[in-house]
Chains A and B, each alone.
Chain A
Amino acid sequence: AQSVTQLDSHVSVSEGTPVLLRCNYSSSYSPSLFWYVQHPNKGLQLLLKYTSAATLVKGINGFEAEFKKSETSFHLTKPSAHMSDAAEYFCVVSDRGRGSTLGRLYFGRGTQLTVWP
């Protein structure tokens, strides 16, 4: 079965400092992994996606994530936080790799990122 654990429910950083949002996954085969961002009262927007190509994935707005199979991790990072990064971030695993054409998503519980000026 697929599952995702986001290790921090809240992360606070100062503007200009690095961001690290941690995610561990469980999957019985090679997973597709995603990070989505949700700004207040908005829908979800895809930040980046891993699908067994390069293990370091670059996304929008300067975010990137590294897939580490040995650690079953897919942590999200950004070198320098901006005020506009304040949002909720979701780590997501898909079961589509099981040969299914349907990409069901399994969401982590989310990490709320606060950025202080």
Chain B
Amino acid sequence: NAGVTQTPKFQVLKTGQSMTLQCAQDMNHNSMYWYRQDPGMGLRLIYYSASEGTTDKGEVPNGYNVSRLNKREFSLRLESAAPSQTSVYFCASSGQRENIQYFGAGTRLSVL
């Protein structure tokens, strides 16, 4: 009954450090997404992957890279973290038929 699993749940980085946020889904979904949530801004799409082997930029891709490792896993990498990347990051996945996105519990990232 896992759904979408994100790790880690919390992370504190110093400016310039790098890290990778992990996401895995067990629903056999084709599409996966990374969002960031900032106060008063709703969720904004960073990158998405329509299917295994493809990735595309969303609304706010600068400063991030992604890898669709296989059908289950979609990771988000910050190469050189900046304070502006302090946010809550959500991963989501969706199947082809029902067009509903299922969200993970989020990763709370602070960049000092």
Contact = CB atoms under 8 A, between A and B. Distances in A.
Interface of A: 9, 32, 34, 36, 42-46, 49, 51, 90, 94, 96, 101-105, 107-110
Contacts, number: 51
A103 B90 contact: no
Contacts of A49: 100
Given A103-B31, A104-B45, A43 B40 contact: no
A94 B33 CA distance: 14
Contacts of B42: 90, 107-110
Contacts of B96: 101
Given A43-B90, A43-B103, A44-B90, 14 more contacts: A32-B99, A43-B104, A44-B103, A46-B100, A49-B100, A94-B99, A101-B50, A102-B31, A103-B94, A103-B101, A105-B33, A107-B42, A107-B43, A110-B40
B77 interface: no
Contacts of B102: 46
A109 B40 contact: yes
Given A42-B105, A102-B31, A90 B99 contact: no
A38 B5 CA distance: 17
B104 A105 contact: no
B72 interface: no
Query: Which of B4, B40, B43, B94 has the most A CB atoms < 10 Å from its CB?
Result: B43
A43 B106 contact: yes
B2 interface: no
Closest 8 CB pairs of A and B: A107-B42, A103-B99, A44-B103, A43-B103, A43-B105, A107-B43, A109-B42, A102-B50
Interface residues of B, number: 24
A103 B43 CA distance: 15
A101 B41 CA distance: 26
Contacts of B106: 42-43
B40 A96 contact: no
Given A43-B90, A43-B106, A101-B50, A107 B44 contact: yes
Nearest to A102: B50
A90 B105 contact: no
